[in-house]
Structure 1
């Protein structure tokens, strides 16, 4: 069985996009049947209404059609729309209508629920009685939920006998992985689980270790962990998952506890484990080798990213491991990030007959102009890799047995150095872009070269990690990315500009008219004047996350909530970062 995150939601969105291009269909329907034959709108066939509904949100369908007449009520009640409740970001008043008229009357038939903020969690699952009425619920998605609220819910969720898929993103810092996973393992029907969490930088490592002293078994087959997980606890975790098929961990980290691999006397054979994807942060090769020997007997697909210990670049060690302990391996996808200086002779071992016969090819890239210590060695066949890190130069010698790279599967591109003029790499399906470095000579050529690699019009999210990117360059980028809906950058650029002068610039005026930014994350603190600039630049803004000067918080909130102007007419969700005594040191407002 193939599992994908939010399959129903993603497929629905894909269908809608495809149908938007089918102009002829609607042209024929409306021009021939309505205008030529003078039909009334309600005379259209049910099938046509279902086609129209594909374009609309469930909220708009219900509010616009349900109370028209009995026919439309029956159309909506007998459709599949009410089986899948994807409550995206919306205002509080809109959600209250949604909750009362759509969700509560249909909870007995709902199979999927997705909630986008912690306020929705509290309103929908306010009592055990309410939870148990969702008798056919199969998939539950919490985009943001506090740990204490999740723990309250978990005992009741265990009584939902059809719940097999759980996706959670925790809003606060995790305090104990043992508490989190032991709670999830209570769900005895669960097959798919995706967890996202964060850990405080200064948190005691012992407190986050995963250590179930008694053997607890979970039926989970697909497990995805987006967060730091202690490597020394990996044995314990895997030993709790006898039916595991697929595991992905975003970050395996060293911990300071005293649990050692050899201390755990109980092991199981993971006969169903076929897919493994790990990012190893400062994990010694020898330690990871023990994990391979113990658990990877039946693994067929192995994706690894690592950033230390040059033993990972030793092809002979890998060859011995694969032959002896991973006989069924058919995809070996490795990415080593770090120093590759003076390691070319070692790297060339990956061009031996063993690797060529299996059609496993490798190359490396690095930024020649900055330092030889920064680079990446990786499998050149992307194996449907969804992200790609771009560096300035690549080593052509390792391409001798390789075909042209195909980047069709990549949807997230990381720019880690200045873009090469006339770059031949093409990423046709990238919709998310992250800049990891600041370029002193950012100019129009950067945008031009970038547009040769990707379609800027296709981008929906951009993350600008460097704090020094000038405001004028951010605005210039907005002029070429009119379909962007999410943007993230540092407030540094706001602090070092005369914003009144910038506001009179033509680029500002053009960018403010064409951009469709709905969600904005600002790292750092904003003043009232800077927030006024922001809402003028992003007039369609719905969700805003930023830090604020404590002395101006009341003034800023009063401005954002004011009805004397229409600059924030779409804004309904605000996260004020760095505020003590609130969730994750943040204050959330929803109206």
Structure 2
């Protein structure tokens, strides 16, 4: 119908086409204005608040009144936008509506200091219920943390830190002071992330938190201590439990509390075993109904079926879902993963309808692979090994992988033999074990993952040539995030690649907005990258120190038509002196009129 209408319009004389166009606009406008206020507000709920104000505030008096005089709650999500657009948003939306905002997300390292300047200004947001501070600098959080107690309705807080934290600066003490907080999620790295310090939660008393998510390498002693302090805890997720040479200087004298509300626990173990956390399971997990356990390498006791049978029968009788995912070698006293499958096939496991299977690393080590729960498979991540063309295993069960959002391919070579399919996967990682895939790789990959679904790809492999990266992107129409190593540029001739038909096609059709390039980047390579990805909004690059000024000049030059919509630039592993040098360069050559610049943890950030 729409095509017919367009065809008719094309056949009209120019003056009649303009008249018909204005008539259509007036019809749409009148239909929108005829809607009740309540319906218009519901429509606005589906739109970004910045776009709502930008598109409707000056439409007419009625819409200006609807937006400015409303007392309805307002949700503000400051994601990727230019500094100029943010200033408009801050002036026209945030400041006039501080009393209405109940959800606020700030997602780059500059915005928190602007919105909450001075820090006590946060107390003028009395309706905030959910606050998200992504990529925040510790000093910025410390400045506002004192005033968080003045937000009476704050029940959800999500924080992710940009720089690595000294263990004494990890802000759990502040969180315990928020008496109404129900949901807390924190993401950070310690200065020495592989040797985390124990945190003594019992020093802080008890917390009201019901849903706790900790994304970091977290000391196993902190986990054992933490459970004494959250009497209302319902859901617990810790991304990575780990031990280190830092040990407790004092014993925990608290009596265990009954966690009758704790129903769901998700833990990832790294270089620790079941023995390290078994005591906490016995003390606190009686009412747990869902247990998800991800382990790797040396967590051999986590594969001890007899031990689990005893632990679950006596100390976790309410457990309904037992979901395990183990990556690494089999038990030290077992020959292969087949013995593991047999151990978990006793009447205990069958009676609970808990089933397990495995996948070998066929090409490297028969006793290395993954062992996991199935029927159904519940994890969002899956490590995939291509099967051998000649071998099959009777112990492998056919599995439904509808839950998987992220597939990590850890095979060295690609084969045409594929037994699994991941219909809902949106993220793909190719590990550094992955070798040159060949020109048929996109077609083979599409047989296990629908390429049209992919939105993010991370290529850790150094053996994945740039030409084949470009060829792969050609078949992924919805890809918006890409990370790869610049060693992929090895032995390439940029002028030949740039003139190829595939390069020309991909540069015009790809939708990549977020790009992360590792290793030293030269000016020549940056010029090629900017031509290949003209729609970039965020770019993180490691560059050659000698060419830093030339690269910055090229990216920011007002005369460079390739710059496009780039709004955020992160330059990795630079010395601090580059902060002053690049600042002088930008101002002396007038490369950008309005920008912010900051140096954090050897990274230099530019907001344009």
Structure 1 pair 486/261, CA: closer, same or farther in 2 (3 Å)? farther
Deviation track 1:49-98 (CA, whole Å, cap 9, x = no partner) reads: 66875675322221222022111123434779961101111010010000
Name the structure 1 match of 2:100. Answer: 109
Structure 1 pair 212/309, CA: closer, same or farther in 2 (3 Å)? closer
| Unaligned 5+ runs, structure 2 | 7-19, 577-598
Deviation track 1:312-335 (CA, whole Å, cap 9, x = no partner) reads: 211111000000100000000011
- Secondary structure of 1:298's counterpart equals coil
CA drift of 1:199 comes to 2.6
Match 1:379 to one of 364, 369, 373? 373
The whole-number CA distance in structure 2 between the counterparts of 1:114 and 1:537 is 31
CA drift of 1:254 comes to 0.7
Name the structure 2 match of 1:584. Answer: 601
Name the structure 2 match of 1:332. Answer: 322
- Secondary structure of 2:302's counterpart equals helix
Deviation track 1:415-449 (CA, whole Å, cap 9, x = no partner) reads: 12245525242222111111124443412332112
Count of aligned residue pairs for this structure pair = 559
Name the structure 2 match of 1:152. Answer: 143
Name the structure 2 match of 1:16. Answer: none
Name the structure 1 match of 2:203. Answer: 214
The whole-number CA distance in structure 2 between the counterparts of 1:562 and 1:148 is 32
1:195–1:225: 8 Å Cα contact kept in structure 2? Answer: yes
Higher Cα Rg: structure 1 or 2?
2
The whole-number CA distance in structure 2 between the counterparts of 1:523 and 1:82 is 42
CA drift of 1:464 comes to 0.9
The whole-number CA distance in structure 2 between the counterparts of 1:266 and 1:245 is 20
The whole-number CA distance in structure 2 between the counterparts of 1:33 and 1:502 is 44
Query: TM (normalized to structure 1)?
Result: 0.88
Name the structure 1 match of 2:188. Answer: 197
Query: TM (normalized to structure 2)?
Result: 0.86
Name the structure 1 match of 2:83. Answer: 92
Name the structure 2 match of 1:352. Answer: 346
Match 2:159 to one of 137, 154, 168? 168
Deviation track 1:367-390 (CA, whole Å, cap 9, x = no partner) reads: 211223431111023453222221
The whole-number CA distance in structure 2 between the counterparts of 1:134 and 1:299 is 37
Matches of residues 421-500 of structure 1 in structure 2 within 5 Å?
Answer: 421=416, 423-500=418-495
Structure 1 pair 180/40, CA: closer, same or farther in 2 (3 Å)? closer
Name the structure 2 match of 1:4. Answer: none
Name the structure 1 match of 2:544. Answer: 549
1:177–1:209: 8 Å Cα contact kept in structure 2? Answer: no
Structure 1 pair 464/288, CA: closer, same or farther in 2 (3 Å)? same
Q: Does 1:238 align with 2:231?
A: no
2:138–2:163: 8 Å Cα contact kept in structure 1? Answer: yes
The whole-number CA distance in structure 2 between the counterparts of 1:526 and 1:431 is 28
Give the RMSD, CA atoms, in angstroms: 2.8
Match 1:259 to one of 248, 269, 286? 248
The whole-number CA distance in structure 1 between the counterparts of 2:543 and 2:221 is 39
Name the structure 2 match of 1:506. Answer: 501
- Secondary structure of 2:307's counterpart equals helix
| Unaligned 5+ runs, structure 1 | 1-22
The whole-number CA distance in structure 2 between the counterparts of 1:309 and 1:38 is 68
1:542–1:571: 8 Å Cα contact kept in structure 2? Answer: yes
1:528–1:555: 8 Å Cα contact kept in structure 2? Answer: yes
Name the structure 1 match of 2:591. Answer: none
1:195–1:224: 8 Å Cα contact kept in structure 2? Answer: yes
Deviation track 1:338-374 (CA, whole Å, cap 9, x = no partner) reads: 1137133243110111111111000111221122343
Match 2:281 to one of 292, 296, 299? 292
CA drift of 1:450 comes to 1.4
Structure 1 pair 43/112, CA: closer, same or farther in 2 (3 Å)? same
Name the structure 1 match of 2:335. Answer: 342
Q: Does 1:316 align with 2:303?
A: no
